[in-house]
Amino acid sequence: MTKQAYPTPVCTIDAVLFRIHDEQLQVALIRRPSDARVYANVLALPGGFVHVDSDQNLNDTLLRNLKEKVALSPAYIAKLEFEGNISRDPEGWSITCPYLCLIDESASCSEQVCWMSVSDFLGESPSINLPFDHQQLIQKAFHRLYHRAKYSTEPNYFFREPFTLSELQTVYEIVLGKPLHKKNFRDRIEESDSVEETGESKIVKRSRAKLYTHKQPQKPHFFSRVLQGALD
Residue 221, beta-bridge partner list: none
Considering CB distances under 5 to 8 angstroms, the limit depending on partner class, which of its own copies, DNA, none binds residue 183?
Answer: DNA
Cβ–Cβ contacts within 10 Å for residue 162, how many?
A: 18
Q: Which does 97 bind (CB under 5 to 8 A by kind): its own copies, DNA, none?
A: its own copies
Any contact of residue 3 with its own copies (CB under 8 A)?
yes
What residues numbered 50-89 form the site for its own copies, per CB under 8 A?
Answer: 50-52, 55-58, 61, 79, 81-87
Closer CB to its own copies, residue 191 or residue 196?
191
Asked if 209 is part of the footprint of DNA (rule: CB under 7 A), the reply reads: yes
Whether 31 and 130 have beta carbons less than 8 Å apart is answered as no
Residue 42 CB neighbours (<10 A): 16
Tell me how far apart the alpha carbons of residues 174 and 171 are, in angstroms, rounded to a whole number: 5
Q: How far apart are CA 194 and CA 212, in angstroms?
A: 10
Q: How far apart are CA 152 and CA 164, in angstroms?
A: 18
Residue 199 engages its own copies in binding (rule: CB under 8 A): no
| CB-based contacts of 111, cutoff 8 Å, min separation 6 | none
Q: Which of residues 142-201 bind DNA (CB under 7 A)?
A: 164-166, 181-184, 186-188, 191, 201
Question: Could you tell me the smallest distance in angstroms from the CB atom of residue 198 to its own copies?
Answer: 31
Residue 111 contact partner, candidates DNA, its own copies, none, CB within 5 to 8 A by sort of partner: none
User: Is 13 within 8 Å of 98 (Cβ atoms)?
Assistant: yes
The residue (of 42 and 230) whose beta carbon lies closer to DNA is: 230
Which CA distances in Å does 14 have to 46, 144, 188? 6, 16, 33
57 or 125: whose CB is closer to its own copies?
57
Strands 10-21, 114-117: pairing kind:
unpaired
Number of residues that bind DNA (CB under 7 A): 28
CA atoms of 89 and 132, how far apart (whole Å): 6
d(CA 204, CA 215): 23
Q: Is 37 in the site for its own copies (CB under 8 A)?
A: yes
Kindly tell me which residue out of 38, 114, 128, 204 binds DNA, with binding defined by CB under 7 A. 204
Residues that bind DNA (CB under 7 A): 164-166, 181-184, 186-188, 191, 201, 203-210, 223-225, 227-231
Residues that bind its own copies (CB under 8 A): 1-3, 5-11, 33, 35-37, 49-52, 55-58, 61, 79, 81-87, 91-93, 95, 97, 224-226, 228
